[in-house]
Amino acid sequence: MVSPAADLVLPLAVTQIVISLALGMFIGLEREWSQKPAGIRTFALVSILGTILIQVDQLVCTGPGCLPILTGLGALLVVILSGMLALHGLWDQDRSMYLTTSVSLFVTYGVGVLVGMNHLLPATVVAVMSSILLVFKRELHGFAWGLSHTELRSVVEFAILAFVIYPLLPAVPVEIPGSGVAVEPRVVWLMVVSVAAIGIVNYAVVKSYGAGAVAITGFFGGLASSTAVVGAMLDDAHSNPDATDYAISAVVLAIAAMALRNLVLVVVFTYPRVPLALAAPLGVLILGGLAVGIRRAESGADVELDMENPFSLRYALGFGAIFAAVLVIGTVLQQETGAVGLLVTTFISGFVSSAGATTSAVVLFRSETIDTQTLTQAVLLATAASVLVKAGLVATSQNRAFARGVVLRVGALLLGAGLVAVVTVV
């Protein structure tokens, strides 16, 4: 006997058509709102067309080497339709070819085909990303037009390193000569690219809100480069004593962001073997820094961060050099003297780059060269070293109120994190 619930289940083909309709309407919503010649109904129909044609092809085209002829004819029809739309735009008073709308129609047809092939997740991702590109037209144009030549070159260099070099790297572990450690080149490169990507995204945020609230620029600037935030605040506190409060806030927030970045790197690249003990001491730095920084931040205070371009070949090579040095030297010392040698190396490298030291420790953990406790200790030492060097830089400021304010608050946060680490880690 068939249960009543079974009668409510739609056939797969019908379900696909409904999903295709929804995604097509979703993409066409912005075009309708922008009053373009093709709107929500046209996009929905084009998406459904792709789904129906691929469904028919899958029914009649079952043998090997059989081509989806109807789907191909449908694609040709959509190309003709898009071309007619573009030509119509030339005759319109705006003299616009409606290229975006024409291409969007063809993309929508592809979404419908993906749905008909039951690739629902890729179809949904394409539909959502297409809609985002349409909705944020002005913001994207403004961002692109506002890029300097140096910034544009940096974006291109990053794209080459991220999307060209990554696929060329071996997908299997490779042993480092003379170290006895096998590393995963793609994972290592992905970690380096991830750090650079954080810098680029947050560089864009700081550029957009460079004269905005300190809670934004201090924290997001810290994700990109906490050292840059400290340098900027040293200059501001020296030249403008009235800026002492927000300078203190910016430095504390930048340190909290640095700790958060290190924690995220560990969580993402060690999952599902995440060292949970790391969360408590770093959580003190993150949550405590946010609480102290935001409370002291004056609403509307302006912060100008003269940050260098966040990505360049020099940046990548520098980060890679630190990463490689910690990986090789730390491994050798770990084999000769145990975990102590690796921890000393990580602590010293943390004065230069806590991200590089953290990345190296994670790679050694993934290769099972070090255990969970050693990884946790290494990341905490690298983070502590980074905090200490920033507090030391601020301590040299001629604005003694700024120096005292930062050192006392950062010292309290570091002490609290250390006490928690003693309880949870040691």
DSSP 359-415: HHHHHHHHTTSS-HHHHHHHHHHHHHHHHHHHHHHHHT-S-HHHHHHHHHHHHHHHH
Give the residue numbers spanning the domain of 64: 4-137
Together in a domain, 92 and 180: no
- Percent of the chain's residues with pLDDT above 90: 17
Is residue 191 domain-shared with residue 259, that is, in the same domain?
A: yes
Of 137, 160, 178, at which residue does a domain stop?
137
Q: Give pLDDT, residue 334.
A: 67
pLDDT for res 364: 84
Count of Cβ atoms closer than 10 Å to residue 80 Cβ: 10
Residue 142 belongs to a domain: no
Answer yes or no: do 237 and 385 share one domain: yes
| Residues 234 and 368 placed together within one structural domain of the fold | yes
Q: What pLDDT is recorded for position 178? A: 63
**What is residue 313's predicted lDDT score, i.e. its pLDDT?**
58
Question: What pLDDT is attached to residue 301?
Answer: 47
pLDDT confidence of residue 299: 42
Boundary of a domain, candidates 87, 102, 137? 137
Q: Which residues of the chain have pLDDT under 50?
A: 1-9, 211-212, 298-303, 305
Same domain, 200 and 299: yes
Residue whose C-alpha is closest to residue 390's, from 217, 231, 215, 224: 231
Does 196 share its domain with 80? no
Residues 247 and 316 in one domain: yes
Q: Which of 80, 104, 137 is the last residue of a domain?
A: 137
Per-residue confidence (pLDDT) for residue 20, from 0 to 100: 93
Total domain count, the chain: 2
Please say whether the beta carbons of 370 and 334 come within 8 A. yes
Would you say residue 83 lies in a domain?
Answer: yes
Write out pLDDT tens, residues 4-30: 444 444 588 888 999 999 999 998 888
* Angle, CA of 294, 254 and 330, to the nearest 5°: 145
In a domain, 165, yes or no: yes
Same domain, residue pair 312 and 186 = yes
Shared domain check, 267 and 155: yes
Residues 270 and 345 in one domain: yes
Pair 104, 43: CB distance under 8 Å = yes
Beta-strand (E) ranges in 109-221? 174-175, 182-183
165-215 residue pLDDT tens: 778 888 777 776 665 666 677 777 776 776 667 666 656 665 665 544 555
**282 belongs to a structural domain:** yes
Q: What is the pLDDT of residues 53-101, one digit of tens each?
A: 999 888 887 767 677 888 888 888 888 887 777 776 666 555 555 777 7
Q: Around Cβ 293, how many Cβ atoms within 10 Å?
A: 26
Q: What is the pTM of this model?
A: 0.60
Looking at the fold, whether 314 and 225 belong to one and the same domain comes out as: yes
Same domain, 22 and 153: no
pLDDT at position 181 is 62
With respect to residue 85, please indicate whether it lies within any of the assigned structural domains.
yes
How far apart (Å, rounded) are the C-alpha atoms in residues 53 and 62? 14
